[in-house]
Amino acid sequence: MAGAGGRSWRDLLAGRARKRKSPFGSEAELQGAALRLLDQHQNLADLLLEVGDSAKPGVQDGAEHQGVSPESFIVSVLQDQASKLGVPTATLAAKNAVANMERICQDSASPSRVPLLNSDQRKRLSCLLQTVKDLLANNMFCRSLFCQELWKMKEPPVLEAVWHLHSRDITGLAELLERSPAGPAAVEWLCSSLCDLCEQVGDIPCGDNELAQCLLSDFAIVFLQNGFEQASELGRKVEFQKVAYICRAVLQRMLAWVLDAVGKEKQEDVSMVRAVRFWLKVFNVSLYGSVAHPDSLRQFFRHTLTEVLTYNPVLKVSDAIQMQKEWSFTRTCPLLTALFRKLLVAFSVKESICQLQQILETHEVNWQHVLSCVSTLVVCQAEAEQLFKDLLSHLLLKAFGNYDMENMITAFLIARQAALEGPAVFMPYSEWFKASFGNAGGQHGSSKKSLVFLFEFLSELVPFEAAPYLKVHIMYPPFVPTKHRALLLEYITLAKTRLADLKVAIEDMGLYEDLSATDEAVQPQAQALRDVEKALQIFENTRKIPTSVIEASIFRRPYYTSWFLPALLRPRVLPKTPDGHMAFIDSLKRADKIPSNLYSTYLQACHAMKEKVLQDDSKAEPSHSKEPLEQLKAELAELRTLIVDQAQWEDVAAQTAVVSDRLRGVLGDSSEENEAAPSNSPIQVAVPAPRLAPCHQRVVDLLLTSFCQTLLAASSFNPPARQGPCLSLVVKMMCGHRNLLPALLGRLCQLIYHQGPSLSAAHVLGLAAFVIHLSECRASIPGVEASFGVSQAVPGKALSVSEYWSSLLVCRTEESFAFCLRFCTAAAAYLMCKFSSCSREDFCALIPPGLIKKLQHLVPRLSLEARGALSEEPKTALSWSSLSCPSLNYRRASLCLWKQAGFQELLKEKAFQLSFREWLLMELEVCPEKDILSASERQDFHYWAIYQRYLPAPSAAGGCDGDLEKACGVIINAILDSSQRLDLGGCGHSKMSVSPEILCRLQLWWPRLEPVLCCQWKRLFGAPLAEELDRLRGWHGSSTRFLCSGAVFPVSDPPWLSAAFLHGAILQQSPRGRGREALERLGTGTEQLLVALLFFSLLDLISARIAPKEGVDFQTSLEWSLEILRCLEERGTSWPLLFRSAERDPGKCRVLHSAASDRHTRLLPLAFYSLTPCFHRELLQRDPTFLSVALQMYIQLLQLFVEGEVVPQSDQDSTEQDPLELISAARQFLLGAIPHCPAQSFGNIQLLLSTCEELDPELGATLLHFSRPAVDMELEEELELF
């Protein structure tokens, strides 16, 4: 009701209260006056809308000031009117509320019916509903009558208005539906309104969109709760059974609306797709939370899945056979796959497949929906593969048990559908067919009746079959006993006839055609090009004509001459140096596999092409559309977005399938290699120069770049352990593309083996994680035949993918050591973080042994702290995120990883222990002149590894049980195995320089080693010893004969090697054999041999000092050293340079120093001053370098004493000099020798003067005094020059 000027009753009431004091003395008087006024100006409907807004301040200022609340006022009005009309107050209120509802819903400015209210309608309805709530609170409102009256409205209420009634607890949707006079009409109204709502969501403001979602959610809960009640609720009264009917009918109608839209989606009606997607929110499990009973929810989803799979089953089995390729995951309508994915969330994979099986057994089905559901399951659920295999086995068992064609066709359709999604998620159809029927153990092999049943079934399929399936059946036919061979031949004849109708000749099948592919048959020209590429790859790796080519030239001559040779002999500009292609052609020509006239025509065409230069470098590369590659790039970017956002992980499997489909499109006809048949044939990689077609390299680089970017982006939010299985799924998908694997592995070879040191930190992290996931997929990757070039003595066995990438991590130079350490540390850190939650058994199964072994070689080699027992575990473990820090020190990072308890536990596992032999093979690959360690550091490492790690270690841990002979045998075997892998002639010099300690010590072990060596060489090579090893045996024999029979001793080149064997022979003779007579018989030209012999003798002298109990006698070694020195002095041979530092002296003595351990080298001053009895005045005069060497040795001797390297020992031999006595004797010798040294001797000591003055002031002063005349003389000589 409105007053003058359009003001509301409430405004008037409030205004008058403010203007003057009320004349009414009580509430009753005020109420009576108001009723009299209403009697004269009655509009109860307006009053309900106005009084309902009780929050306006005017009321509080006016009426409520007098103690009259709006609620009590409206009650009074209603009561008064009801008494006059003779009806209950609640009835009058309900009817007036419905009248208001109808007015509000009809006052829309829109010409058509819409499911949502505008803002004005919403405001008026809110006032009305507030009043109704107040009336309900006063028991003055009849809900049941209100619901009945709503159904009597001329037009059904707006859907939003009903939702407000429901959400504000005035009358629930279920109660409203219960009072509907006709169920079908209610269904029609609800479905029409819901469809309108879904279609409108794209064109409404954001706020309205949120309201629409709330409306849909609330109504969906009502539909579920009432449409799928529990068994305990089934006995409810008839009215609620009506509600259940309506709710189910609405859901059924809306599902039909969705499925009809799915069938029309190719019309690209964007608005309809958007509308359907909105309704699909009804199937979000999270929507129902705790408000719905779990059994009700499962019942709803189970019912819906059944309805989807049986909806409109008009397609025949023959239609499914011909069309199922179009129903793969990526080709199926996204709305349908979205629906399946939402429905399947409510069940385990096993439950989903069991329900699918039950539906197939009990209903007529829509084959498109069934097979799309199969694709969705195998793509989105990793466990589905094995469960589907089990289902297929069950179906075949039933089919052959009852000779039931329905189970048979179901099995074949499911097997083919699952195989459509690629080997990453399910075995190829060819493999399933072979596994099911290719041996006598198949279901068909039990009787002739079973065979007849199988071939009748296959024959009935033939008119509808695509060529790839027929080829599988022909190339991998079912196992048939000889006596029933006619059944098979009859089928093959029928299948070949069908192939001929399809214009596909079985004779034109490629040599390496992928029979697991289900796309349309590749044209013979394209297949022949692929066959040529594959044959070339095999030829370049083996240097032999592939067997398949030889067989084709004999047994498949039409294909060979009509397709293969023309593809091989396509004209091109021939390179100046014959390449692999030309070498292959020449080999075929020499084997009479290319007719002479065809070969001549080819050469003429190539010459003509060169003359015209028609195609230049682009001739061999077909043009590739950039569009498919751009599509792949876009889908990879979308996949990265999903992986990074944990909330979207449920969409990763579906997007991965889309990427796989795009990848298949990119490789398609431009693929230069397809998966060979059989599918498990090894992949060949030429490591020195892996061949990659440019088109394949672009694809592989895109995939690897995307993987690295995705990993780093995901790692910025979560560590690998919390990144889910997404990246595993992506790599598994890549491995499913068999024709991509050669390029992928070849590119890894280029990046790791050839370009490793130049890779950035991001590349290293990404590739390290990638190879870990590659190893995770090892079961689905064929073996890898890695050829390391002509130096490979014999072809190696096929490697697993883990062994393959581990073999690419070769440590030879400083740069490669640094890269391998970075790569292995990153890979191990990722592995230990990513799979930390796995069980011990599963975790160990995931770890590539080569990775852990490589770290056992690298970390102790580059970090002293890693040698021996660890003091304590680091306080903080190596984190994956820290590896991306630019300032990361990888030596420290690897040491941190090494010290972790988890890593140390791995080293206890036998499978991961680096044996002595494996360690030796790794060391034999190192280039000494390019090593990351200096010569002395390397010797220290070798000494630790051999004497402290492997020699005492038990054989169970890869050691030698403390057995020196066993250790020696391992060394020899390792050298032989290394020579088998490497070019012996090329690495001979390398061995001489890299392992002089080993070669020098061979002379001590040789009598026991020679039988083992000859035996092992014969085992490995079946031939006489190699020339270099036979020389070692010859030098040993010559040394023995020289000492025993007086024969002439031949000197080797280098002389130190024969000196080493002569030294060994002398040690094995009695002390009497070490006489002067033997040295004199060496004759002239053996001075360098004597110098080397002196050095080896001094090493024995030092060993006797270091370890007096190991059988080396100090006095005997000293006497023999003095004897050799006297012989050198008599010949006037210079020997002091023997004691110069190997780093300072790059001359001939460097290799001798490399044969000594670092400790022996540091103790050379001890040996030097043990020789003072032979230091005569003539030596001082003859050799100007002697003084500087003697001073250097004295300084080092003092430093050794200060550092504690030489101290008096309690168990010291009585013949040995006390270190202090030795230092004193050395000092007295120098003080006596300096005055007798020629002036030229002092020119080389200037750098030593300051050190001498610091350590021994008296000696320093003596040097300074006697060096001044030399300086003066030098000045005079310079002055004389002018």
Q: State the Cα–Cα distance between residues 1259 and 162, nearest whole angstrom.
A: 112
Predicted confidence (pLDDT) per residue in 1190-1210, tens digit: 999 999 888 888 777 665 554
Distances, alpha carbon 619 to alpha carbons 55, 570, 572, 616, in Å: 84, 10, 7, 6
Omega before 694 within 30 of 0, i.e. cis? no
pLDDT range class, residue 1218, cuts 50, 70, 90:
confident
Confidence (pLDDT) at 624: 43
Q: What are the E-state strand segments in 645-793?
A: 683-686, 784-787
| Over residues 1239-1255, mean pLDDT | 82
Is the pLDDT higher at 1053 or at 284?
Answer: 284
Tokens linked to 22: 């009320």
In the numeric block, the tokens 């001094």 are attached to 1098
* Whole-number Cα distances in Å, 748 to 706, 803, 806, 852: 15, 13, 11, 20
Alpha carbon separation from 127 to 109, 121, 1099 (Å, rounded): 20, 10, 108
Lowest mean pLDDT among 580-594, 724-738, 1192-1206, 1213-1227: 1213-1227
Q: What count of Cα atoms within 13 Å lies in the side-chain half-sphere of residue 647?
A: 1
Helix (H) or strand (E) holding 727: helix 726-736
What pLDDT does 1001 receive? 56
How far apart are alpha carbons 8 and 1 in whole angstroms?
6
Q: What is residue 137's predicted lDDT score, i.e. its pLDDT? A: 86
Name the DSSP letter for residue 705.
H
pLDDT tier at 1161 (50, 70, 90 boundaries)?
A: confident
- Amino acid sitting at position 1276: E
| Residue 1133 main-chain phi, psi, to 5 deg | -85, 135
pLDDT tops 50 at residue 189: yes
Binning pLDDT at 50, 70 and 90, where does residue 1224 land? confident
Q: How far apart are CA 217 and CA 976, in angstroms?
A: 76
pLDDT of residue 613: 52
The amino acid at 1059: A
Task: Give yes or no for residue 245 having a pLDDT over 60.
Answer: yes
Closest CA to 255 of 366, 330, 364, 175: 366
Q: Which residue has the higher pLDDT, 1095 or 235?
A: 1095
Instruction: Encode pLDDT of 882-934 as tens digits.
Output: 776 766 788 888 888 998 888 999 999 999 999 999 999 999 989 888 899 98
User: In one letter, which amino acid is 385?
Assistant: E
Question: Positive or negative, the Cα torsion across 1121, 1125, 1128, 1130?
Answer: negative
Q: Can you tell me the distance from the alpha carbon of 49 to that of 494, in angstroms, rounded to the nearest whole number? A: 83
Higher pLDDT, 543 or 298: 298
Name 1093's Cβ contacts closer than 8 Å, sequence gap at least 6.
1059, 1062, 1063, 1124
Alpha helices in 646-721 (DSSP H): 652-667, 694-715
For residues 220-242, give the mean pLDDT: 73
Range from 647-656, 981-990, 1154-1163 that averages highest in pLDDT = 647-656
pLDDT at 776: 92
592 burial via Cβ count (<10 Å: 0-12, 13-18, 19+):
exposed
Q: Per residue in 6-46, pLDDT tens?
A: 445 445 444 444 444 555 555 556 555 554 544 444 566 56
By the 8 A CB rule, do 425 and 381 touch? no
Tell me, what amino acid is at 699?
V
Q: How confident is the model at residue 689 (pLDDT cuts 50, 70, 90)?
A: confident
The pLDDT of residue 1253 is above 90? no
Summarised one tens digit per residue, pLDDT across range 612-635 is: 654 444 434 444 445 788 889 999
Sequential DSSP letters for 434-484: HHHHSSTTSGGGG-HHHHHHHHHHHHHHGGG--HHHHHHHHHSPPP--GGG
Percent of the chain with pLDDT over 90: 31
State both tokens at 72.
């009590």
Q: 195 or 1177: which carries more pLDDT confidence? A: 195
Query: What is the spatial distance between Cα 302 and Cα 791, in angstroms, rounded to a whole number?
Result: 65
**What is the C-alpha separation between 372 and 375, in angstroms, rounded?**
5
Average pLDDT, the chain: 81
pLDDT tens digits for 110-165? Answer: 555 678 999 889 999 999 999 898 888 888 889 999 999 999 998 888 999 999 99
DSSP summary character for residue 820: H
What confidence tens digit (pLDDT) does each residue in 365-419 have? 999 999 999 999 999 998 999 999 999 999 999 999 999 999 999 999 999 999 9
Q: How far apart are CA 38 and CA 178, in angstroms?
A: 37
The reported pLDDT for the residue numbered 997 is 53
Quote the tokens at residue 637: 């970017």
pLDDT grade, residue 526 (50/70/90)?
confident
User: Over the stretch 983-1032, which tens digit does the pLDDT of each residue have?
Assistant: 443 333 344 333 555 555 555 687 767 777 777 777 666 677 766 677 77
- Residue 1233 and residue 1261 in contact, taking contact as beta carbons nearer than 8 Å: no
How would you label 197-235 residue by residue, b for 16+ Cβ within 10 Å and e otherwise?
Answer: bbbbbeeeeeebbebbeebbebbbbbbbbbbbbeeeeee
Instruction: Of 954, 955, 958, 922, give the one whose Cα is nearest residue 941.
Output: 922
What is the C-alpha separation between 71 and 51, in angstroms, rounded?
8
Q: Which two tokens stand for residue 68?
A: 């009259």
Q: What is the pLDDT of residues 819-844, one digit of tens each?
A: 999 999 999 999 998 988 888 888 88
CB neighbour list of residue 1204: distance below 8 Å, 6 or more residues apart: none
Supply the pLDDT for residue 751.
94
Q: Which two tokens stand for residue 851?
A: 């990775």
- For 49-76, how does the pLDDT look when each residue is reduced to its tens digit (9 = 90+)? 655 454 444 444 444 444 446 666 677 7
Q: Are 745 and 676 in contact (CB under 8 A)?
A: no
* pLDDT attached to residue 69: 60
* Helices first, then strands: H and E counts in the chain: 61, 2
